[in-house]
Amino acid sequence: MNNYFVLYHLTIFLKKYCLDSTFQFSISPFKDVWTAFLRPDDQKFKLLLSTHPSETVLFLEDFKPAKKSNVTSFFDQLSGKKILDMDISDHDRFIHIYLEGDFKLLLQLFGNKPNIYLIQKNKIIESFKNPDQNIGETPPNPRQPTTDYKIKKEGLSAKKTILKIEPKFPRHLISSVIEHFTLEEKNSTEISDVVGVLTDAMIKTPEFRILEDGNLCLIPESLLPLPGKKNFEDVNSAIKHLYFHTSQERRLSSKIQQIKPSLERRIQALESLIDQLKDADKGLERAEKYEQFGHILMANAHESSEPESESITLPNYYDDNKPVKIPIKPKLNIAENAENYYDRSSKAIRNVEESKRRLKDSKLDLRKLKKLQESLGKVQKIYEFSDWHKDHIDELHDLGVINKSSKEYSSPYRKLKIDNYEVWVGKNAKSNDRLTSDAHKEDVWMHARGVSGSHLAIRMNNNKEMPPKQILLKAASLAAYHSKARGSDLVPVIITKRKYISKPKGAPPGSVRVDKEQVEMVHPQNVTKQ
């Protein structure tokens, strides 16, 4: 959804609807998602950008009221500014949005760290991700246009030849193009001709069709007849459909595949174990046999065995005194061999009892696992999976399907409540860095002054005001409690907004610079346990 040719046509589409519209505000309603609310004339639109590396996507969406809680606002300086122009870099996936006041939004739509930069006078003044690293820096430059590639030698694979000729060619279509046009059998000149035709078609006569594999293809079906699901009149509709339907299916499949194989392996392992444990009763036969050998040997303890002999034949009074050959250990006498068989009999009985217990537990676990498997099979939506995962995470851990200690299930910092306010408290230096990075600029930031300790943030949900004084003092007491000054009677605590905190380049974990602060003297106290 973010290959160059898709973004080329998307830029044309967006210019049609967005030019001369007013930028109202922009927020992040969810992690890695940015939405800008625009007003062209009497209409309203919402520009949505996902910066997740595996799902980088941009499209225009019909207006819906903005989410009001747990959101972060961005680029407030653009409020009320008109969009003057939009374009895409000649040879890179950078989209530029030019606004009044010499502002420019640079949308970087590729790589492991897609981002949005607000630029003025060729300097980054705000960014969607990693603002501490980017503010004040020169914006990234797109790749410069290159001269036409001339094949200097044969011998390159068809794929490498295509990418040498046109580096922007959609990667997900290369295999299909090679197969359909039998490019492995063609020379570089012939490959260049095919690439030229397809590239020209994607620019001048594109078709916006979603293929059966869930990818977007702009090459007309007459040139590349791949099985398709649906065709669209414009690129924006195709992208939006992919994001809300096909992409959700792909994300859901990915989430399920994180659980399903492990779940199936545990079921197979338990079924195999149960089959083995079903033969546990055979151990009772061995225990009875060992006990009989012990009795027979003990009844003949006065006898002596042949030196180095590994067996002895004695009358079996359990079978009409018929002779029975009993294996023995040459280094032990008859009585000691009898004791050895009694021990083996007792061990066999214990193993049977343990096997029966394990059999009962395994059957119970198997029923639970199959019930989980059945409920997972009914999950159809990504939000349903999230609910399912949350409801069953402890059971999945207890049954050995997942490792609950993995990073996926642990918060990087403590999340507490002071009255109705959510409060974050750092666990260590790295946790402090993460807390400060994740906090919104309007959150209230605290730290015990002059000593090491936890960073603390009061979540303000984009509220520019400060919380009530009693909340501030309680949170400050908690910050003092989670510091090296815990044993002091009174501790000075820095209180400020997160927007006044920055991290100097090269500073060690947990170190920050405070540009504006107030200080309260408080008694260290774990107020969350009152």
| pLDDT digit string, tens, across residues 220-242 | 999 999 999 899 999 999 999 88
Percent of the chain at pLDDT > 70 equals 95
Rounded to the nearest 5°, which phi and psi values hold at 62? Answer: -60, 150
Average pLDDT (146-152) is 54
Measure the CA–CA gap between 335 and 221, rounded to whole angstroms: 89
459 and 492 Cβ atoms separated by less than 8 Å: no
Mean pLDDT, rounded, for 297-316: 86
pLDDT for 176:
94
Q: What is the pLDDT of residue 250?
A: 67
CB 6 within 8 A of CB 34: no
State residue 386's pLDDT score: 76
Supply the pLDDT for residue 280.
Answer: 75
Mean pLDDT of 431-451: 93
With residues binned 3-state (H G I as helix, E B as strand, rest as coil), the percentages for the chain, rounded to 5, are 40, 25, 35
- Highest mean pLDDT among 83-87, 147-151, 261-265, 420-424 belongs to 83-87
Look at residue 308 and tell me whether its pLDDT is greater than 50.
yes
Task: State the pTM of this model.
Answer: 0.56
The confidence band for 69, taking pLDDT boundaries of 50, 70 and 90, is low
pLDDT, mean of residues 277-282: 79
| 48-59: pLDDT as tens digits | 998 887 788 999
**Partners of 30 in the beta sheet?**
33
Report how far apart the first and last C-alpha atoms of the chain are (Å, whole number): 52
On the question of pLDDT at 353 being above 50, the answer is yes
Tokens 């030698």 correspond to 153
Q: Which DSSP string corresponds to 460-500? A: -TT--SPPPHHHHHHHHHHHHHTBTTTTSS-EEEEEEEGGG
**What's residue 406's pLDDT?**
46
Whether the predicted pLDDT of 34 surpasses 50: yes
Taking the C-alpha atoms of residue 448 and residue 485, their distance in angstroms, rounded to an integer, is 8
Q: C-alpha angle with apex 515: 509 to 520, nearest 5 degrees? A: 90
Mean predicted confidence (pLDDT) in 471-479: 96
Highest mean pLDDT among 6-15, 296-305, 342-351: 6-15
**Which of 150 and 67 is assigned the larger pLDDT?**
67
The answer to whether residues 493 and 451 touch, using CB atoms and an 8 Å cutoff, is: no
Per-residue confidence band for 278, with pLDDT thresholds at 50, 70 and 90: confident
Residue 245 DSSP class: I
* Mean pLDDT of the chain, nearest integer: 88
Mean pLDDT of 340-354: 90
DSSP string, 200-223: HHHHHS--EEEETTS-EE-S-TTT
Helix, strand or coil, per DSSP, at residue 332: coil
Q: How confident is the model at residue 492 (pLDDT cuts 50, 70, 90)?
A: very high
Calpha distance 153→160 (Å, rounded) = 12
Residue 70 reports pLDDT greater than 70: no
Q: Find the range with the poorest average confidence among 31-45, 84-98, 135-149, 290-304.
A: 135-149
pLDDT in the model for residue 247: 63
The residue count of the chain comes to 530
Rounded mean pLDDT, 382-393: 80
Q: What domains are there in the chain, each with its CATH number?
A: 4-134 (2.30.310.10), 158-250 (no CATH), 277-359 (no CATH), 413-529 (no CATH)
Q: For residue 151, what pLDDT band results from cuts at 50, 70 and 90?
A: low
Confidence of residue 153 (pLDDT cuts 50, 70, 90): low
| Average pLDDT for 105-110 | 94
Task: Check whether 94 has a pLDDT greater than 50.
Answer: yes
447 pLDDT more than 60: yes
Query: Residue 108's pLDDT is what?
Result: 94
The most distant pair of C-alpha atoms in the chain lies apart, rounded to whole Å, by 113
Q: What's the distance, CA 96 to chain centroid? A: 29
Predicted confidence (pLDDT) at residue 246 exceeds the cutoff of 70: no
pLDDT of res. 408: 44
Q: Is the pLDDT of residue 169 over 90?
A: yes
Q: Is there a contact between 173 and 139 (Cβ–Cβ < 8 Å)? A: no
pLDDT at 68: 66
pLDDT at 407: 40
**Is the per-residue pLDDT at 304 higher than 80?**
no
Tokens of 454: 């936890």
